[in-house]
Amino acid sequence: MAVLGANGSGKSTLVRAMTGLVPMTHGEVCLFGHPLRRFRDWHRIGFVPQRATAAAGVPASVTEVVAAGLLSRRRPLRPMRATDRRAVSDAIATVGLTARRRDGVATLSGGQQQRVLIARALAGEPDLLILDEPTAGVDQQSQESFAAALEAVTQRGATVVLVAHELGPLAHLVGRAVVMRDGQVAYDGAPLPTDDSGHLGPAVHHHHHHHHLGDPAIDYAPVVTSPIDTPSRLAPP
């Protein structure tokens, strides 16, 4: 599922509301069928926040940053087990940074740091992967390897929610597109087949598609009911 739209159209706000990072004024978010308030299975979610860098004020190795992705599964004061270590090295291998795993994240390029953040989200083997503009400022080749990594994730049966300006090499992976405009959902449905650049035109039809591309996976996409939704999709009282 791709969330598209111009700057300031509310894409990030929508995704941040889905994850509980911003409170909702109206409506409700359901994750895996549970209201957000009572949601506890955080290990089923992988999140890649919109960030320019993976580095902070102190050096941290790629392995350490990616290992933070396992915290939703680990209890405090328990050491890492062998399976945890393997999950971390697998996630690093998926984004192709195995040779740099001991290096400080601050020494990596912007695109590589973005891949570290993606590996961190993948380490917990989430059923729902939410990415907020992961391809912003990443070159075409990195985007292609990133598309391959996402494809592997969806083949495992996970749902990917992706915020983007434009889809580029990711276009063929999208089964559902949500277009935001001025804080409203302007379109929600299958991606328009004629447009492969990701710039979707004005919404022509508002009805739901669930028969896209014969996708057999279970849909774990969060359900958001709120005034931002299009009027036609609100259930009659």
Partner 1 sequence: MSILQYDFMIRALVAALFTGLAAPAVGTYLVQRRLALMGDGIGHIAVTGVAVGLLTGTSPTVTAVAVAVLGGMTIELIRQRGHTSADVALALLFYGGIAGGVLITGLAGQGAATLQAYLFGSITTISSADVWVTVVLAVVVVAVALGLSPQLFAVAQDEEFARVSGLHAPAYNIVVSVLAAVTVTVAMRTVGLLLVSALMVVPVATASQLTRSFRSTLLAAMGLGAAAAVGGLVLAALASAEVNVAPGATIVLVSLAGFAMAWPLGLWVRRRQRLVAPFVDPVGPETGDHTVVPESHEHQHGDDCGHPAVPHGDHVDYVHDGHRHAAHGSHYDEH
Contacting residues toward partner 1, per CB under 8 A: 19-21, 40, 42-43, 45, 47, 49, 51, 54, 56-61, 63-65, 67-69, 71-72, 74, 76-77, 93-100, 102-104, 107, 109, 111-112, 115, 117, 120-121, 124, 130, 139, 141-142, 144-145, 148-149, 151-152
**Between the CA of residue 113 and those of 56, 58, 213, 232, what are the distances in Å?**
12, 15, 33, 41
Find the shortest distance in angstroms from Cβ 60 to partner 1.
Answer: 4
**Burial of 211 by CB count in 10 Å (0-12 exposed, 13-18 middle, 19+ buried)?**
exposed
Cβ atoms within 10 Å, residue 56: 10
Find the shortest distance in angstroms from Cβ 5 to partner 1.
Answer: 20
The residue type at 37: R
Q: Tokens in use for 60?
A: 């941290």
Q: In terms of CB distance, is 116 or 174 closer to partner 1?
A: 116
The SS3 of residue 147 is: helix
Find the shortest distance in angstroms from Cβ 112 to partner 1.
Answer: 6
Find the shortest distance in angstroms from Cβ 182 to partner 1.
Answer: 24
Alpha-carbon Rg of the chain, whole angstroms? 18
Q: In terms of CB distance, is 73 or 206 closer to partner 1?
A: 73
Q: In terms of CB distance, is 36 or 192 closer to partner 1?
A: 36
Q: In terms of CB distance, is 103 or 229 closer to partner 1?
A: 103
Report yes or no: 180 and 132 within 8 Å, Cβ to Cβ.
Answer: no
Give the total residue count for the chain: 237
Find the shortest distance in angstroms from Cβ 230 to partner 1.
Answer: 27
What is the DSSP secondary-structure string of 85-133?
HHHHHHHHHHTT-GGGTTSBGGGS-HHHHHHHHHHHHHHT--SEEEEES
Q: In terms of CB distance, is 67 or 180 closer to partner 1?
A: 67
Q: In terms of CB distance, is 146 or 187 closer to partner 1?
A: 146
Find the shortest distance in angstroms from Cβ 189 to partner 1.
Answer: 27
